[in-house]
Each structure stands twice: as structure tokens, then as C-alpha cells.
Structure 1
Amino acid sequence: MSFLSGVVEGFYGRPWTMEQRRELFRREQKWGLNAYLYAPKDDHKHRMYWRDLYTPQEAGELQNLIASANEHHVEFIYAISPGLDITFSNPKEMATLKRKIEQVWGFGCRSFAVLFDDIEPEMCPADKDAFSSLASAQVHMTNELYKHLRKPKIFLFCPTDYCETFCTPSVAQSPYLLTVGEKLYPEIDVLWTGPKVVSKVISVESIEEVTQVIKRAPVIWDNIHANDYDPQRMMLGPFKDRPVELIPKLRGMLTNPNCEFELNFVAIHTLATWCQSYSHGGNNRIVKDYIPQEALQLALSEWLVEFSVQDPLGGGQPKRGADEEVPMQTDACYVPGPRDKLLFTAEPLTLDDLILLSDLFYLPYEHGPTALKMLQELHWLKSNSNSVGFVPGSSDRNTGKDTEWRARAEEFDKMCEAVVQMFNRLSNVSNRQILYDLYNFICDIKSGVTMARDFVKTIGRQTTLSDQQKIDDPEPWGFRGGVSGEFQRMLPNHGYKDVFHHSFRPKAYIIRPYTQSDQSAVQQISQEVMCEETHGSPATKGAMSLGDR
């Protein structure tokens, strides 16, 4: 197997179910991918309790899973992550690790990985006496395990310094990586996430640099679609900013996607399209253009079909026995009368809905085109709200700027309505498995868009603030993030990567006495404030304004 392509289940959170993994293998085979790395952080026996053997029931499930991967021509790579608490210099620890891996070998697995990611880079006193560095200890243990397994064809090693930002002082001068390059058996492949843990771009030059240091082409563990670090985001944009020219420079490309299984159709499908853009034809290498937006459109078109599938993974209602009472059926032919409330109906989900959904939940470093346009419009409407006439339709205030503001506010309202309708159609799809994975995200974006929509109507004087909006005790959906949100709002760099971030610049003001020349300006401000407070109604007769005072 020259190039590994597929999925790593390596996120923090609830692991996927066995049936979801089998469905993953079916999709990988269909789309031309060939590998699956089993590394769920919260499978205790993979990481926290790595010493414990699998129970007979767990063993049976894993054995069946490995058989399913083989059936679909997907290489099942079992990963173990002992770095939290292993003592490298203790022979008993090495024996325990071998025993655990031997058990998985007995399940039919022939490809393995040892992971040392996300651990403290400190050694215990016993290991400090036995090894010159943490890298030396990890490499020694990995080499020993590799030899014990009689040098399997696929064996992966994840270093503690697994991206450029972790390397001190740099990739080229990292003592850790230099040790890995010098001492790790050359047949063992090294996992790498790129310039960062979640890399925006992975360039050919950056891969060539790390290849020179570790003395082998890396296998990329790509976190571009991962969402375990932010429970309010899912990544539905295309695989991008990894040039196809990377493929001959790599040993493999594995994506570590969203925690929610059903949300990964786009991530895996577009990765497969990317992989197929480079192929080996004998002595000829064929490179096709990979256009992310076209790959996204293709993936969304196929995903749309999945939304109409009922109960795809067998997670519906349990079957009733023959003697169980059949529940009473409602009148499916009910027709409301002329004065009755209309029946709720939802139109079928469309490709445009999924394109909008993808735009709203795109990628870690960018929003989709529609989401970006909505944010830009809201920013403009808010920044130019002072150009809106206080009495809509009033000829003396209906300036060109006012007309532009209201036209753009109307367009913004249409975009918000499209989000609401998308939510309604998604809520009515037959495939409830996808909906349940989506629901928290689409409910959150609908709520956020609705609040923005109401805000624009308020500053446009189409509506007034409700009593609930005016009080200092809002409903919980009026503020987000709990304690985490409070901490972020107190930090000076909060939102430093936001679309409309402005750097902090101190402003100087000159305070001077009021003069007669200021009178007209002060009176104008006073009139506008009083008009705003009375919502455009005439001021109370005889009331003294600020300007008068």
C-alpha cells in the first residue's frame, strides 16, 4: 500500500458506534479510500487505561469490526496511546504493552500505531536515569514493539512534537525531531499535522522541510475538519489549501473530522476527490485540477440523497411483538376548516439549503461566501445606522443614504429568512440520524440569525424594543457561552481572528467649554435624542430640551 488515504477517529468525545464505523468502511470503499486509524481519545482502553485487556464482549466487537474493514478493503490500523503514564525504563511496562498489542493481533489486526500526542513532555526520575531525552525513550519503546510484531507493513508513530509550532526552536533545529529522524527505524511512518495543530495551509515547502529532518515522508493527520475543541462549530466546508502536488511528497493523508459521525460526509467525500486528483499511471503521473468548490458541490449533491433515507443505521423504534396493541392512528386526511389553523407543512430539503448550511459552518479559518456576506451586511447596517430616518417615509429625512440602508436591510432580512426556512426543512427530513447530529448547530445558528434580524429591524425603526429586550434580566438564549464565554469576553485578544476585528487604538479627546457657535449642533443632537426616546412621537408640549438648557 503506497499511499494511505482515509480517516483517523482521533478526536476527544463520544467515540463512534460500531455500526457507524462499518458505514464509514462502506463509504471509504465506494469513494476509493483505503485506511482507518482507530484512535478515539475517550476509548479508555486506547489511552487512559491502555494496560487493560479487552473483555470477551469488546474483543468480539473489535474482531467483527476488523473483519468488516477487511471486507471493504480498508486497512484497519489499531493505535494505542500509553504516553500519559508509562515508565519507559520499566521492563514490566513494555511486557504489558506487548501483551495488549498481541491481544489485538489475535483479533486479526495487522497494522498498528503508537501515539504520544497531547502529553506532558516530562520524564519520571527513573526514565531520566535511563534515557537522554523523551524522544529517545519513545523511539526505543516504539522500535522494540515494532520488532516484537515482526515488523508489520504499516506501523505509525505520533511524536509529542507533531506540528511546527511545537518544535523548539524550529523544525530544522528541533532536538526532538532530529532524534526521531536518527533513531526511529526507517520503516516506521511518522504522523504530522502540519504547521499547526489545526493547519490552515499545508505547503509543499513545509513538508519538504520536515521530511528532511525525520528522514521519511510523513503521514498527515489532518485536523482541518475537527470540531472537538469548539462545541458550537461543525466543519462542512471542502478539503482545501493542501495542493495536490503534496501527494507524492507524503506517505499518506488521514482526516480527523467532526465528532458527530453524520456530519463528516463532506469532509471525507472531498478528501477522496482530492486524492483522486493525483494518480499513478505506470511511469506517468496524472495530476488533475482539484477545485474545492466543485468538490464541495459534488459532495453536497450526494449528501442530499442521504437526507431522504429513513433509519439508515437501524436506530429507529423497536419492533412490536405480534400480540402488542397497535397505537391509535391519527386522521391523516384531516383538512382544516376555513377558520381553523392551517396544517404545518415543510417543503423538501434542497441543494441550496445544504450549500447555505455549509457556508454557515465552513472551515476553521474562514466562513462560506453567504455567511461572510451576511456578516458584512450586518456590520455595514450597524455602522451606518445613524443614516436611517427616524420617521420612515418622511420626505425631509429620506436621503440617498437612508434609501440604501433600507434596501440593504431588506436584503439582509431575506438572507435571514432563508436560514430560518433551511432550519424548518432540515427539521422535517426523513433521516433522523443526520438531523440529531445537526440539530444543536442549526438551532444555534437560527437563534443567532433571528436575534441579528430583530436588531436590524429595531435600528431601522421597523420595530421597537420589547419589554423583555429592555430589562437587565434576559432569557438565557440572549447570551452565549456560560462561564467560558465570560472569560473570553474579558480577554484583550477575544475575537482577534474575527472577520471585523479592529486593533485596539487609544483615542484622544479634547474637552473644552461650550460656546455660542455650538448651539445649532447641540440642539440638533437634542432633538434626535428626544425623538428616539419617544419613538418619533412629538415631544411633550412645553418640555425643555437639552439644547434649550
Structure 2
Amino acid sequence: SNEVYQSLGQPRFLFCPTEYCTSRAVPNVQNSEYLNTIGRTLMSGIDIMWTGSKVITHTITVESIQELSEVLRRPPVIWDNLHANDYDQKRIFLGPYSGRSTDLIPHLRGVLTNPNCEYEPNFIAIHTLAQWTKCKTDAKCQLSSVSADIKLEAESENGSIEDIPLHLSPTAYHPKKALRISIIDWMSEFNKSKTAYGGSNSFLHLPLAPTVPTVIPIPEVANGLNEPKVVDMNSIASTSLTTSEDIAIEKNSETTGANESVAVEESAILITKDVNQILEPMDCNPSPNLSPKHVFDAQMDDSNLLKSETFESSTDLIHKNGANSVDSQEEMQTESSSEIDDESRCHQLTVEDIALLVDLFYLPFEHGGQGLQFLNEFHWLKANGFLVSEYRRKRTTDPEGPEVSEWYTRATKFDEMTASVGRLLTRLTFCKNRSLLYDLYPYVWDIKGVISLLNSYVKWLALGRVPTSALIQPIGFIPPAFTWFSKGYRDAFQSGEQEPWVFRGGLTGELQRLLPVETVSDLFLYKAPESPSSQIYTIRPYLQSDETSVYDVCRKTFALERENMTLEDMTDFVGDKSVVRH
């Protein structure tokens, strides 16, 4: 390395050691013969990259960097894998840059971020990092209604957006406020006309592992993150990915798709990186060809990407008599200009939609607030479904008790939450930035399908026809080894003590594992559409009012298969044979 560095005229030079994080230092950072040799023999002008305590680090502390600097005899350049998603094809990270105190800045030669494989969705990751580089202090999280020692179930570790202090110094960094500013600035990117090249990324649809490695309950760890405070964004260019002169972007190509490298340095000198296809961030060994492929195609005509039908999400109220559903309505052939304007506004993404999107795909060690709400609400509804069954079994005319009323109220709320995800997906298909759409669509399509299935299960419980015994785990039933509500699981996930690829599937996987079926993985071996479509199908329970339509499908199918046969007066025969037995 020294010889190459000198022969090139001593340019800006980056060196990635084999032991590039604390967990890979043998036996530890201070006593590693390898790191001490590197620090002693590598020329002082060569920068050394470091990822933190893990390959993907939850929190990087000043103390750990000071210890490393003594061994390397120079400040490191942080190669930050916080937003890297190349190890889990069901996850993409849209949360803010966090877990790194601004006190680190004087102790580093730079920060190089290794973000999502998909180029367009990296706006928030880069935008919030740009804000972080311009701040000098960390804002403290101020929880007004909750004590500092106790946090709500649905609250993320930086508090909710409502907890952001109203008055912050422009030089103080707060992850949640940085996120809010980034979301507002990101909105304009969705409205920019941009053509997509190739098809949308498709998942490799393998079943989620039914178990994860043994999770040992981890005690509370002091949070190294100095909580929030944010910068005044008037001083930062907002609508471009190159949000400050301190940020430089070098485009890299992988078989997994266009990846972005962003260098943030005190001297504002570009740091570049070349990343091959990998099993995990910075792994030296190439992985098998399992990642999604980007194939360059001719420019696609936007008009071919959308169907003319519009989708009205089902927002059925759930009540004790059953679940009613609203069918999708087809767009009228002739509309006035005011109707077209109204429809256009209806299809426009809102700040609330983008905030929901971010919460569903947050950070490696943290789910967003609305994502946690889906987990908590479904878990409660499933655990208390026996209340509805018992009430319905009594066949009494007595009014519902408070517990049953609460169940129906929360079931209705869950239905509305599900409808909001449907609206997000539908509106996303109408955005002008087709490149951004193609990057996001497979992820949103996937989680929307899972949440719709959970909602259908809730509607089934709402019918009150589920035997109480069916809500009790039967003998011999083997559920997923761990779910979000298993003892010790949540603490292990949030602590950062284990690499995030231990917890496969992100929020989508967590929701899947809550379904009360043994082979839950088999339900999700499907592939997202090659081209995003505004036509969305919602799974719901079969109702008696569906009989006419279902029998009609049976008759038409029978007629197509047997052209020479007539049923004459036996018009219900095929339907009776095909449907009644089920």
C-alpha cells in the first residue's frame, strides 16, 4: 500500500483493513497485532476505514474512536453501513442518520456512507447526514408526557415527532427534526418527471427462516446516542442529493443495483469506494448471484405503466354483525375538468404518506412509530379475539361489554391503518418520478400484502364465528421460534449487540411471524408485478353477498372449458359443486 501510494504521487488514499470493526479485531482493538502493525507501518497520509463496533453499528461512541485512533496513530474514516440493505432483500432503510453524536466530528477524518442499493430512496439518508455534518451539538430528547425512564410501547428510541423541542439551536442535531425536514424536501423529488430504466427490483422470494439464532435477553444498555436537535435547513441545499459541498457522491455499480457512496470530510475532499457484490457490507468474499438484477432496457413509456382503473381502498367498519367491504369503482369515461383536478389531487402523495412510508422501513435496529403501531395493535386484537367469540356464542341481546366494544373499536382502527397503506401504494403508482417508483414499489407492495392479510384475519375474528379453541395454541403446534413479543427478542433487536441480518425480513417479517399458522412462510412466496400497477386486490373474508358473483365466475369458467355442453335449467350446479363444499 505504501509503494502504490508513493508511486501515485501520494493522492488521497483509502485503506480498508481486514479487521475493520471492533468485533473482528483479534483479540480486541487495543491488543490487535494486525491493527497495531497497520498503525505503525502505514504511511500517515493514508486514511484507514472503520465501521464501528460491528459491521453495522447501532451507536458509535467518542471513547471507541479515541481508543482506535491511538492504535492506528491517526483519526479513522468512518465507513457507515447504517443504511446499507444488501444483506436483506425485504428491507430498505428510510430513517434518519442517528446513533452518532456530533461530538465525533473533530475525532474523524471523514464519514463515508454506504446506503441502500437502490439509488433514489437514499435522499433521507444523505440529507440527514448533511444536516449532521453542519451541527456542533446534540439536542436532548425532551419527553413531556412520559418520564425519562419509561417510554411508550409505540415510541421509538428517539421519541416521537411530537416530542421534538420547539426551540432548537441551528447548530444542534435532532434525528426526528432532521427527518421531518428531509421528508418535506423529498416531496419535490416525487413530482419530478423521471423515466425508469429496466424493470422494478424484484425480491428473491425465499421463505423467512422459521427461527432465528437463540436470543438471550439483553439488559438495558446505556444509549450512546445523545438525543436530538436540529440544524436550520435554510443553509443547506435541500432538493438535490448533493445537499452540501461537504458531500460528494460517487456512483458505483453492483449486480444488486446502483449504489451510492457519500463522502463527508472536514477537508471536503472526495472519498470514493468500489464495492463488489457482497454477503454483508464490506465482506471480502463475493456472494452467490442471489441479489436482484438491474437490466438496462429502452426508455419505458409512462402511459404503459398505469391502468386506467383507480383504486378505492376498502375502509370497511368492523362490527359485531360482520365485515362489509366496498368494491373498487372504475373510473368514469367522461369527466369534467374539476373532477379530473380532484382526482389528480386524490392521487398525489402527501407528507403523511411519506411519513408512513418511512415508518414502515425505518432503520436496522429500530422500527418507526407507525410500524410499531401495526405490531402492537394486531398482537392485541389476536390475543383478545376470544372476547368476540365468547360474546357471539352467547347469542344474547345484552349490549356489548366495554371489553368487546374496545375490541371492535381497535379493529376498526386497524382497518383504517390498513387502508392508509393501500392509499400509499396507490398514490405511489401515480408519482411522476418513475425511477423512484420502481425502486420503492416492490417493498411497499410486499408489506401492503402482508398487512392486508393481517387485516383479513382480524375481520374473520370480528365475525365472531371462530371457536374459542381455535384461538388457543393447540398441542403439537410449532409456532415461529421468536416473534416481536417473545421474551428478550425486542431488547436483542434494539440493542445492536447482534448484527441486523440475524432478524430477517424487517417489519414485514415481524408482521408475518405474528400470523397464527405454522407454515407462515409459504403464504408469501409471490413476486411483485414487473410494472407497477394502480389496480390493487384486497383480501377479505367471503360474504354471503358474494355468492351471485362467485357462481357467475363458476358458470363462465365451465362454459369456456366445455363449449359443447349446456346446463339448461341447472345453472347453479357448477357453483354448488365448486363452492358449497368449501
The TM-score bracket by the shorter chain reads: 0.5 to 0.7
Extract unaligned runs of 5+ from structure 2. 138-168, 199-296, 302-307, 309-330, 337-341, 468-477, 490-542, 544-582
Rate the CA distance shift 1:502–1:397 in 2: closer, same or farther, 3 A. Answer: farther
Q: Specify which structure has the bigger relative contact order, considering alpha-carbon pairs within 8 angstroms and separated by 6 or more residues.
A: 2
- 1:108-507 correspondence to structure 2 within 5 Å: 142-152=1-11, 154-278=12-136, 288-311=171-194, 334-335=333-334, 346-390=346-390, 394-396=396-398, 398-461=400-463, 495=482, 499-502=484-487
Rate the CA distance shift 1:180–1:448 in 2: closer, same or farther, 3 A. Answer: same
Q: Say which SS state the counterpart of residue 253 (structure 1) adopts.
A: strand
Residue 451 of structure 2 aligns with an amino acid whose one-letter code is V
Residue 403 of structure 2 aligns with an amino acid whose one-letter code is K
Kept after mapping to 2: 8 A contact 1:389/1:402: no
Structure index of larger Rg: 1
Rate the CA distance shift 1:463–1:367 in 2: closer, same or farther, 3 A. Answer: farther
Rate the CA distance shift 1:239–1:460 in 2: closer, same or farther, 3 A. Answer: same
Q: Percent identity of the aligned residues?
A: 42
Kept after mapping to 2: 8 A contact 1:193/1:222: yes
Rate the CA distance shift 1:217–1:408 in 2: closer, same or farther, 3 A. Answer: same
Cα shift at 1:499: 3.3
Cα RMSD (Å): 3.3
Kept after mapping to 1: 8 A contact 2:389/2:465: no
Q: Say which SS state the counterpart of residue 173 (structure 2) adopts.
A: coil
Question: Corresponding residue for 2:322?
Answer: none
Question: Corresponding residue for 2:266?
Answer: none
Extract unaligned runs of 5+ from structure 1. 1-141, 280-285, 321-329, 338-342, 466-489, 505-534, 536-549
Deviation string 1:272-328 (CA, Å, 9 cap, x unpaired) is 01111139xxxxxx98210111111111111111111112689997699xxxxxxxx
Residue 267 of structure 1 aligns with an amino acid whose one-letter code is A
Kept after mapping to 2: 8 A contact 1:423/1:442: yes
Residue 295 of structure 1 aligns with an amino acid whose one-letter code is A
State the distance in 2 between where 1:491 and 1:151 align.
59
Question: Corresponding residue for 1:73?
Answer: none
Rate the CA distance shift 1:262–1:394 in 2: closer, same or farther, 3 A. Answer: farther
State the distance in 1 between where 2:300 and 2:376 align.
51
Kept after mapping to 1: 8 A contact 2:195/2:299: no
Cα shift at 1:207: 1.0
Residue 452 of structure 2 aligns with an amino acid whose one-letter code is T
Larger helix proportion of the pair:
1
- 1:63-142 correspondence to structure 2 within 5 Å: 142=1
State the distance in 1 between where 2:352 and 2:388 align.
33
Deviation string 1:159-206 (CA, Å, 9 cap, x unpaired) is 011011111221111111111111111111110000110111111111
Residue 43 of structure 2 aligns with an amino acid whose one-letter code is Y
Kept after mapping to 2: 8 A contact 1:389/1:398: no
Q: Say which SS state the counterpart of residue 224 (structure 1) adopts.
A: coil
Residue 373 of structure 2 aligns with an amino acid whose one-letter code is K
Rate the CA distance shift 1:420–1:227 in 2: closer, same or farther, 3 A. Answer: same
Rate the CA distance shift 1:278–1:502 in 2: closer, same or farther, 3 A. Answer: same
Cα shift at 1:236: 0.2
Cα shift at 1:395: 4.3
Residue 25 of structure 2 aligns with an amino acid whose one-letter code is C
Kept after mapping to 2: 8 A contact 1:217/1:249: yes
State the distance in 2 between where 1:370 and 1:227 align.
21
Residue 334 of structure 1 aligns with an amino acid whose one-letter code is Q
Question: How many residues of Structure 1 are paired with residues of Structure 2 in the alignment?
Answer: 316
Structure 1 length-normalised TM: 0.53
State the distance in 2 between where 1:231 and 1:319 align.
25
Rate the CA distance shift 1:318–1:151 in 2: closer, same or farther, 3 A. Answer: closer
Rate the CA distance shift 1:336–1:390 in 2: closer, same or farther, 3 A. Answer: farther
Residue 149 of structure 1 aligns with an amino acid whose one-letter code is L
Residue 362 of structure 1 aligns with an amino acid whose one-letter code is Y
Cα shift at 1:391: 5.3
Cα shift at 1:335: 1.6
Rate the CA distance shift 1:397–1:162 in 2: closer, same or farther, 3 A. Answer: farther
